Amino acid sequence: MPGVAGSSRVSRRQMDFLFNSPEFVGNLGTLSRQKLDRIPHNDTLAYLCRRISPNELHRLRVHMVRSLIRSWALDGGRLFGKWWLIAVDGTGRVTYNKPHCPHCLKMTVGGKTR
């Protein structure tokens, strides 16, 4: 899961630890309108995700955004009282093991540039 705790690779054990923080559980409970004490184990979530179609995930995302808009939860963040600002994190969406063109960005890790 890119971006979790500032790392591009996080173990499932780390995800269990991070996602069961009181803040995350509270936020997920608020979004799902359920009282949650903890998040299901990551293996349970992985099992579920393998069986959900991309269409269902798209419908869920649309439903979540519509719910936020209808509940006025985003109203305080409107620009000039009219528009919503939307941030999209596209990092990690497309990756390559080697540069595919001369304009590719380079990354330096441990003194080695790739």
pLDDT tens-digit readout, 2-15: 444 444 567 878 87
Quickly list DSSP for 6-68: G-S---HHHHHHHHTSHHHHHHHHHHHTS--SSPPPHHHHHHHHHHS-HHHHHHHHHHHHHHH
Per-residue confidence (pLDDT) for residue 84, from 0 to 100: 79
What gap in Å lies between CA 97 and CA 114, rounded to an integer?
9
* pLDDT confidence of residue 2: 44
What pLDDT is stored for residue 43 in this prediction?
84
Q: Of the candidates 55, 80, 83, which has an alpha carbon nearest to the alpha carbon of residue 69?
A: 83
**What is the distance between the alpha carbons of residues 95 and 88, in angstroms, rounded to a whole number?**
17
- pTM over 0.85, yes/no: no
66 in Cβ contact with 74 (< 8 Å): no
Give percent of the chain above pLDDT 90.
Answer: 0
Predicted confidence at residue 8, as pLDDT, reads 54
User: Which residues lie below 8 Å from residue 4, measured CB to CB, with a gap of 6+?
Assistant: 10, 14, 15, 18
What is the pLDDT, as a whole number, of residue 7? Answer: 47
pLDDT of residue 44: 82
